[in-house]
Amino acid sequence: MNKSAVKETMLALSEAELEHAREHYEQFLASARLDRSEPIETDERAQAETASELAEAFEQPVHDYETKIDRLRAIDFSPKSEVGEGAIVTVGGRHFVIAVSTARFQHEGVELIGISTQAPIYKAMEGKEAGDDFTFNGRTLEIEEVA
């Protein structure tokens, strides 16, 4: 599997999520602006304040996605022999990309999911190699492949 292409796919997914978050943020920010050239009704002011609060709530995901993209760009996706950042790990037929968390996605006909180094399953298998066992949620699992 071309790991550089996997990284590019993950970047594209994260950039699409960032754009979606920005759109929501900008929508609420626009509705928070009042036209000062006309008289402002009390309910308009209340709606603008609510929209402003919602815009603030949508601002944090924008920053989170920007951080995620920066982090993803910095990760070394070269071949790996043990579970660590930049590895693609197969466990129970599932493929985990150790990088940043993502929704499931398809690449070259294979379903993958991005997980961060903060994920509990990552912590359970960190540093292990193909053929090693680890325990997660009371179950013993085998690492089938590390790439």
Q: What is the pLDDT of residues 91-136, one digit of tens each?
A: 999 999 999 999 999 999 999 999 999 999 999 999 999 999 999 9
What is the full DSSP assignment across 62-84? HHHHHHHHHHHHHS--S--SBSS
- The pTM for the full model equals 0.77
Cα gap 113→78, rounded to integer Å? 18
Digit-coded pLDDT (tens) for 38-74: 555 556 556 656 655 666 666 778 888 999 999 999 9
3-29 mean pLDDT: 88
